[in-house]
Chain A
Amino acid sequence: MRWLNRVRSFFRGLVHRGADERELDAEVRGYAEMLADEKGKQGMSGQEARRAARVEMGGIEQVKEEVRSVRAGVWLETLWQDLRFGARMLRKNPGFTAIAILTLALGLTVNATIFVFINDLFLRPLPATDPGRLVVIAQKIPQSEMMFPFSYQDFLDFQRWAEGDGHEVPEMAKTFSGVMAYMETPAHLSLSGEATERTYVHMVSGNYFTVLGAQPMLGRLFLPNEGRTVGADPIIVLTYDTWRSRFAADPRIIGQTVKLNGLPLTVVGVTQPNFVGASWGTALSGFVPATMLPQMIPDRAYLISDRGDTAFFMMGRLQSGASLEQARAAAAIVMARLLKDYAGMHPLHAEAVVLRESMSRPSPFVANYTPLIAFVLMGMALLVLGITVANVTNLLYARAADREREVAIRGALGATRWRLLRQLLAESTLLALAAGVIGAMAAVNLSPILSKVIAPGDMAPPSDTGTDWRLFVFTFVASLVTGILAGLLPALKATRIDVLPLLKNAPANAGNRHRLRSLLVIGQVAISCVVLICAGLALRSVQKLSQVNLGFRTDNLLLASVDLRLQRYSSDRGRRFQEQLLEKVRALPGVRNASLADSVPFDTGKGMRAGIWPEGQTPTESQKFMNVACFAVDHSFLQTLGTRIVEGRDFNERDDASAPRVVIINRALAEQLWPNDDPVGKRLTLQRDHLQVVGEIGDLRYWAMTDTNRPLLFYPLAQNYEGNVTIVARTGMDPAQLTLSVQQAVAQLNPDLPLYNIRTMDQQIAGSPMAMAPMRFGAVIAGTQGAIALFLATLGLYGLISHSVKRRTHEIGIRMALGAKPGNVLRVLIVQGLRPVLIGLGLGLVAAFAVTRMLSGMLYGVQPTDLLTFAGVSLLLAGVAVFASYIPARRATKVDPMVALRHE
């Protein structure tokens, strides 16, 4: 039984603290002193007596230790008893148990699922050697919270000063043992004779794996001399997952050739199964030396040669003992030097940001926003849990009323209040633990689906989400706390009962019980009223949103993307390809119109450019940094979307590369630039570009369905070539049916070009994390909670009326004997049932009025005091109330007066 001893000593620590411990000490010492007194009386001297006493006792500490271990044992045993008894009671009431567990499970599922994200975003260590010493280095400018990467040339300086002899910047060498750089990029991966696949890789510095402390599973990682000379190392290290899924776990893969963007690379190694590279959140397929960039993506060769082009995040490993503050100071020194030595190649006032790796997720770009989003999510989850706990507390209250007698009897038999309390808490905790099991399992199953929804665009979510032991510890603790919270008030109430009247079966208390039940019904009706109104408002918002005019027609649109850059297309070849592709798609049967765009509304990563102002004017501070969404589109784009031009003209075929550069802007942008003037014919400056406005459109929503006034502009693809484009086809039938023929059209032009992210516009909007998802999520959660609360209220009301019918059988019998009609009796009882409902409804409406005000920011198109919602919910509750009292009331009218009179 060694394990038992261990468990005991563990609990010993829990049970014995402060007061207990002091008391025990006093008790045992007191014993020793009394023993010494005794010996003294027998004639020993004081000192002798004390020594003899101590010898006889066998050591004060040993005695105390014995007591401690016994007490811990008893503690465990009673806990076990409580749990067993609790389980028995729960089994006896399967209906109650099921409702309570399901209610709690809902709340815990939401919390566990959110926790999976929190875990991924902040808690799980990166699978690397000693991940606590890894930091991400990025830069930012004071005007923006958004962080951005470094240029490769800047990185080389950071690396030289960190890993070199440490003369130039000794602070760097002292704090960092190494600095590496990586750039995440999509790539086309193919094996000879097989279809090309769009994946993501990291373009990395040669010391990438060294800094991470990674080991290969097969072959080798990069050698010290690799990744130094441009174009010299056509090699790739594959990730374990890609090796398994793409190469069938072929052990002879080492030395074989794969093609990345058409460039042959030799596979030199495969990483360990759990290795995810330097960043969470993306399923990478491999790692290639950054020095291969000019060969892999010829038109972006400048990314490693040009100090002004920032594409690489850096990750450093701190020397053991070096602090984050030291790292920040060292990076600031390097940054100051770079700004001085290469002025004009860096944004003014750029500063280096050093973050712990665990604070840089999911991507350093947005790391500054992650805590806020996590905070909001956690808040929502806690709110749901709060409602859940309130619901279950109500349920337990009702049960406490039914169990008064049992509790009273046990109290009379000598159980202390603490013991009874513990017993009741054990029950609610058991409920919550069972719910926690469901919650954890649901979260494990839900999180991959959710991360797929949240992962931007076509990027594959990581196969391994945050469902590790932390999830189970979290759910366990959350369940414990939830169970105790939900059970505490009802248990306190139940154990405070005056024993005598109950044991005497005196009806004196019945009125009291009755009042408790009425209060419960009132409370439940009020809660369900509030929650249902919130759900109703959220639903109405979703409904309103689906009717919103987005500025284009969303039906019958098929979207599919190709990335010509990754297939080594020059811009001339790319233009020709795009023309041929459009021609082919337009000719497909069922296609009414087709166009191309570098991004389309509700894309997650889209082209935002900052800095726009009327040409010839000095830009204001806000114009200098104003973000505007830019869409490079084929001239038929607006026509294909069904967007109306309100002023000026649409693009046409003559707006080509040789024509003057033109732009169409939306009303929001026009109002920003020329507040009281017609924009058509005016000229504007967009960063370094000078464009003439030829047309104006109304509002077009492209980010969230709720926002209206975001500035955006369109310019012709012909004048702004982009290799990564999305086909937009308007069809006369279900657009999904077109998928195959579009795929064939692309394959006819280039069989090696992957067509990815094929979706309809409706799917695009439904899948967009910003468009509508938060509102829908809210409606579902609030709706479910409201339904549960409504169900509980119905049960409570039903119980109240049938209890009252039972109690009044005698009275009803007399009334009927005296000639009351069944209809009269029915009415009396239903009115009695309606009273608590109406009170609850009144309270609920008042509370809802206050609560929905706070929601007004989240609602769309409905007032927080929407009459339809308030009236609908009131009617629903009243209807349910009549129904719940009608059934037991009808039973009362069936009572035979003779039986009723003999009832007592």
Chain B
Amino acid sequence: MTEQNTELVQGTLDLLILKALALGPRHGLGIARRIEQVTRGTFQVKPGSLFPALHRMEEEGWLSSSWGESENNRRAKFYQLTRAGRRQLGSETQRWARVSAAIARVLAVS
């Protein structure tokens, strides 16, 4: 696998996870693969940062979790967005749009 590792900008991981769950519940590996897939491998999320983020977001009340069966019939913990999580996704998206627009402008000027 081609390693094209890009350091995640602080706070981006939350947004990526929220977004990855927007379409429905996924387990840990599913979330990681989904993020890899949509960023075309730019972001590879290691379990060492994925799980802490998931648990933190669950404590914040953005995610809820339940045990289920994976595609290969393995027991896995599935995460899904709560109402608060959806709201968080909305506000994070807006914030990100503002920040990236601003940075784009800065880069354009110089």
Q: Given A70-B56, A413-B84 in contact, is the A58-B29 Cβ separation under 8 Å?
A: no
In this complex, which of B52, B56, B70, B76 has the most chain A Cβ atoms within 10 angstroms of its Cβ? B52
| Chain B interface size range | 20 to 34
Does B47 reach chain A (CB closer than 8 Å)?
Answer: yes
Report B27-53 CB contacts with A as 1/0, cut-off 8 Å.
111000000000000000011110111
B residues 82-100 near A (Cβ < 8 Å) are: 82-84, 87
Taking CB atoms, residues of chain B closer than 8 Å to A37 are: 72, 74
Contact across chains for A34 and B51 when beta carbons are under 8 A apart: no
- Distance of B81 from chain A, by nearest CB (Å): 11
Give the nearest-CB partner of A15 in chain B.
B59
Among the 9-residue stretches A25-33, A500-508, A544-552, A676-684, the one with 4 or more Cβ atoms under 8 Å from chain B is A25-33
Q: Do A71 and B70 touch across chains, with their CB atoms under 8 A apart?
A: no
- State A74–B63 Cα separation when bound (angstroms): 14
The verdict on A419 contacting B51 (CB below 8 Å), with A26-B75, A31-B29, A37-B74 known, is: no
Asked if A31 contacts B72 (CB within 8 A), the reply is no
B83 contacts A30, CB within 8 Å?
Answer: no
Is the pair B83, A414 in contact by a Cβ cutoff of 8 Å?
yes
Bound CA span A28–B75, Å: 11
Q: Are A30 and B74 in contact (CB under 8 A)?
A: yes
- Is B76 a contact partner of A34 (Cβ separation < 8 A)? yes
Secondary structure call for the A interface = helix
**Of residues 785 to 840 in A, which have CB atoms within 8 Å of B's CB atoms?**
none
Q: Which of A59-67, A128-136, A254-262 is found at the contact surface with chain B? A: A59-67
Given A27-B77, A66-B48, check contact A415 B61 (CB 8 Å). Answer: yes
Q: How far is the CB of A563 from chain B (nearest CB, A)?
A: 72
Question: Is A35 on the interface with B (CB-CB < 8 A)?
Answer: yes
Bound CA–CA A75/B56 (angstroms): 9
Are A419 and B61 neighbours in the complex by a CB distance under 8 Å?
yes
- The answer, yes or no, to whether A871 is at the interface (CB within 8 Å) is no
Which residue of the partner chain A has the closest CB to B72? A37
B74:A414 contact, CB within 8 angstroms: no
- State A822–B44 Cα separation when bound (angstroms): 79
With A and B bound together, what is the CA distance between A26 and B47 in angstroms? 14
A4 to chain B, nearest CB (A): 16
For the complex, give the distance between the alpha carbons of A69 and B49 in Å: 12
CB of A543 within 8 A of chain B?
no
A 412-443 binary contact with B (CB < 8 Å = 1; else 0): 01111001000000000000000000000000
Is A744 in the interface zone, CB < 8 Å from B? no
| Least CB distance, A39 to chain B, in whole angstroms | 10
A34 & B74 in contact (Cβ 8 Å cutoff)? yes
* Closest Cβ neighbor of A64 among chain B residues: B51
Contacts of B48 in A (CB 8 A): 57-58, 62-63, 66
Binary per-residue interface labels of chain A (31-45) against chain B in the complex, 1 for a CB within 8 Å, 0 otherwise? 101110110000000
Contacts of A78 in B (CB 8 A): 59
Complex contact A34–B70 (CB within 8 A)? yes
CB of B28 within 8 A of CB of A31, answer: yes
A67 to B59: give the CA distance in the assembly, Å.
12
Instruction: Determine the chain A residues whose CB is within 8 A of the CB of B77 once the complex forms.
Output: 23, 26-27, 30
Partner pick for A66 among B27, B52, B70, CB 8 A cutoff: B52
What residues of chain A lie closer than 8 Å to B46, measured between beta carbons?
56-58
Minimum CB distance partner of B73 in chain A: A37
Q: Is the CB of B84 within 8 A of A63?
A: no
Q: Which residue of B lies closest to A38 (CB)?
A: B29
Shortest distance in angstroms between A48's beta carbon and chain B's nearest beta carbon?
A: 15
Q: Are B84 and A66 in contact (CB under 8 A)?
A: no
- In the complex formed, the residue of B with least CB distance to A59 is B48
Residues on B facing A (Cβ under 8 Å): 27-29, 46-49, 51-53, 55-56, 59-61, 70, 72, 74-77, 82-84, 87
Q: Can you identify 27 A-B contacts, CB atoms within 8 angstroms?
A: A28-B47, A30-B28, A30-B74, A31-B27, A31-B47, A31-B51, A34-B29, A34-B70, A34-B74, A38-B29, A56-B46, A57-B47, A63-B47, A66-B49, A66-B51, A67-B52, A67-B55, A70-B53, A70-B56, A71-B59, A74-B56, A74-B59, A74-B60, A78-B59, A413-B83, A414-B61, A414-B82
12 more contacts with CB within 8 A, not counting A27-B76, A56-B46, A419-B61, are A28-B51, A31-B51, A34-B29, A34-B70, A38-B29, A57-B48, A63-B48, A64-B51, A69-B52, A71-B52, A74-B59, A75-B59
